[in-house]
Amino acid sequence: MIRFLIVSLFLTILLGPLPYTSGEYVIDSITNNVIILEALDDSLPQLFVSKKAFFDGKEGDVVKVTMGGNTVFRIKPLPKLTELRKQQIENLINKLAP
């Protein structure tokens, strides 16, 4: 019991100051070992994530990335936002093309 409390206190002190953030990203490119994520918001940085750790998405998919500090905890696909983004791009192309 005491060991559990000590470990819990240690983890709280260690992980407490980390800023937990989440943001929406687009999968920019996928190589053999790395997924490059481009932020939809200009205030977020570009991310390079190990492909082994997460799902096999497609380039152009919109995902929600949950982070603690500089560590990516979770990448969740957002299929509705992916379809909306594809439609917006198609509409833009149709407006530009005669």
For each of the domains in the chain, give its residue range(s) and CATH number, in order of start: 19-96 (2.40.50.140)
pTM score of the predicted model: 0.73
Asked whether 57 and 91 are in contact (CB, 8 A), the reply is no
How much is the mean pLDDT over the chain? 85
DSSP SS3 for 93 = helix
What span, in angstroms and rounded, lies between the C-alpha atoms of 34 and 96? 33
The residues with which 49 forms a beta bridge, in sequence order, are 35
| H helix or E strand, kind and range, residue 51 | none
Both tokens of 71, joined, read: 């560590």
pLDDT single digits (tens) 1-48 = 888 989 888 877 777 666 778 899 999 988 888 888 999 888 888 888
